């Protein structure tokens, strides 16, 4: 089933998997209006109990080419620049804290704000031939939607500094080598692979899935001792669930579990 979420996004539902498709020709560039539409779409997905996993992808040769140059040119004051950065950060944070896995299916050019959108997703797959990077330095600016914070956390500080300060883009294969994406697939297989992974996520007990996402997301901001304590609390909380009993029973009975998400 396909539903239109707005003028720049469509949402295709297949079972428990929602696929959001960005369609803002010619390059799927970011504007404040598009960010609002993206945030509203994720608001709806967050509250839709039928949705258990999300795939985000683009159209044509572009995932997201970056910010709209006309929008950047119109920003002429400190206050305007900070406001648009905070708007973008807030919406990308909203995607990152979604307690449903979000897979970025990077189908082509993924630069600047596009890479920042991809990095707030929980898993990133890229099509062979894609290019990824943070080229803002070449425009006399810097990443403003979380690039300076998420990129070092994902690939390490040294490589992140190199990419941000040179503005160079890298291939999908190099992105895989440095851990920026987890898989590189042929373009014609990208959506099928991403949706298949999403279906795998959706088949798991959602209480355990949400707890795992929370432990990873919150734990990375803590020192090891506090992160381990968080993990223990969340693990303990799962031990009284029906899904835990069902999962163990299914294992012992050599059958697939039938999780009820409670």
How many domains are contained in the chain? Answer: 2
Q: Does a structural domain hold residue 262?
A: no
Domain shared by 26 and 118, yes or no: yes
Q: What does pLDDT average to over the chain? A: 95
Mean pLDDT, residues 14-20 taken together = 97
Q: Does a structural domain hold residue 108?
A: yes
Q: Of 101, 104, 124, which Cα lies nearest the Cα of 210?
A: 101
pLDDT band for position 3 (cuts 50, 70, 90) = low
Domain shared by 147 and 32, yes or no: yes
CATH number of the CATH domain containing 227: 1.10.12.10
Are the C-beta atoms of 104 and 123 separated by less than 8 Å? yes
- In whole angstroms, how far apart are CA 42 and each of 18, 187, 205, 217? 10, 25, 21, 18
Domain shared by 212 and 153, yes or no: no
Q: Of 117, 111, 164, which Cα lies nearest the Cα of 142?
A: 164
Q: What is the pTM for the complete model shown?
A: 0.94
Q: Does a structural domain hold residue 257?
A: no
* The pLDDT of residue 2 is above 80: no
Mean pLDDT, residues 227-232 taken together = 98
Mean pLDDT, residues 52-59 taken together = 97
pLDDT band for position 7 (cuts 50, 70, 90) = confident
User: What DSSP element (H or E) covers 153?
Assistant: helix 147-155
Structural domain for 231, as ranges: 206-252
* The pLDDT of residue 244 is above 90: yes
Domain shared by 184 and 229, yes or no: no
* pLDDT for res 11: 96
Q: Which of 184, 202, 220 is the last residue of a domain?
A: 202
Considering only 63-72, 85-94, 148-157, which range has the smallest mean pLDDT? 63-72
Q: Does a structural domain hold residue 125?
A: yes
* pLDDT for res 6: 66
* The pLDDT of residue 1 is above 90: no
Domain shared by 110 and 211, yes or no: no
Q: Does a structural domain hold residue 261?
A: no
Q: Does a structural domain hold residue 166?
A: yes
Residues designated as active site: 116, 136
Give the CA dihedral 223, 225, 228, 230, nearest 10 degrees.
-70
Q: What is the CA radius of gyration of the chain?
A: 19
Domain shared by 26 and 126, yes or no: yes
* pLDDT for res 41: 96
Are the C-beta atoms of 145 and 119 separated by less than 8 Å? no
Q: Which of 164, 187, 202 is the last residue of a domain?
A: 202
* Other CB atoms within 10 Å distance of the CB of residue 233: 11
Domain shared by 106 and 231, yes or no: no
Domain shared by 15 and 117, yes or no: yes
Condensed to tens digits (0 to 9), the pLDDT of residues 93-138 reads 999 999 999 999 999 999 999 999 999 999 999 999 999 999 999 9
Domain shared by 103 and 215, yes or no: no
Phi–psi pair at 238, nearest 5 degrees: -80, -20
Q: Please list the helix, strand and coil fractions of the chain in percent, rounded to the nearest 5, in that order.
A: 50, 20, 30
* The pLDDT of residue 4 is above 60: no
Helix, coil or strand: residue 262: coil
Condensed to tens digits (0 to 9), the pLDDT of residues 179-226 reads 999 999 999 999 999 999 999 999 999 999 999 999 999 999 999 999
Q: What order do you get walking across the sheet with 9-14 strand by strand?
A: 2-4, 9-14, 17-22, 53-57, 102-106, 123-127, 183-185
CATH number of the CATH domain containing 149: 3.90.226.10
* Other CB atoms within 10 Å distance of the CB of residue 36: 14
Domain shared by 155 and 79, yes or no: yes
Domain shared by 55 and 150, yes or no: yes
CA distance 84 to 78: 10
Q: Which of 202, 222, 242 is the last residue of a domain?
A: 202
* The pLDDT of residue 5 is above 70: no
Q: Does a structural domain hold residue 260?
A: no
Domain shared by 193 and 228, yes or no: no
Q: Does a structural domain hold residue 259?
A: no
pLDDT band for position 38 (cuts 50, 70, 90) = very high
């Amino acid at each position: 089933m396909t539903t239109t979420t707005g003028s720049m996004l469509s949402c295709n539902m297949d079972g428990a998997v929602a696929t959001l498709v960005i369609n803002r020709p010619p390059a799927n560039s970011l504007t404040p209006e598009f960010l609002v539409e993206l945030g509203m779409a994720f608001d709806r997905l967050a509250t839709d109990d039928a949705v258990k996993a999300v795939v985000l992808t683009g159209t044509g040769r572009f995932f997201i080419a970056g910010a709209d140059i006309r929008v950047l040119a119109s920003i002429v004051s400190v206050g305007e620049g900070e406001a648009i950065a905070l708007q973008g950060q807030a919406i990308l944070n909203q995607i990152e804290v979604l307690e449903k896995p979000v897979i970025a299916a990077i189908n082509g050019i993924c630069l600047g704000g596009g890479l920042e959108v991809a990095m707030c997703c929980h898993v990133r797959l890229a099509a062979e031939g894609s290019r990824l990077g943070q080229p803002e330095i070449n425009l006399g600016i810097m990443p403003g939607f979380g690039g300076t914070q998420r990129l070092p956390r994902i690939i390490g500080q040294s490589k992140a500094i190199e990419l941000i300060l040179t503005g160079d883009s890298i291939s999908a294969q190099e992105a895989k080598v440095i851990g920026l994406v987890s898989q590189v697939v042929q373009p014609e297989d990208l959506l099928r692979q991403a949706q298949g992974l999403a279906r795998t996520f959706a088949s798991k007990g959602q209480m355990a899935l949400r707890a795992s996402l929370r432990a990873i997301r919150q734990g990375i901001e803590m020192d090891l001792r506090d992160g381990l304590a968080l993990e223990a609390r969340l693990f303990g909380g799962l031990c009284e669930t029906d899904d835990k009993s069902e999962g163990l029973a299914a294992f012992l009975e050599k059958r697939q579990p039938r999780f009820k998400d409670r």
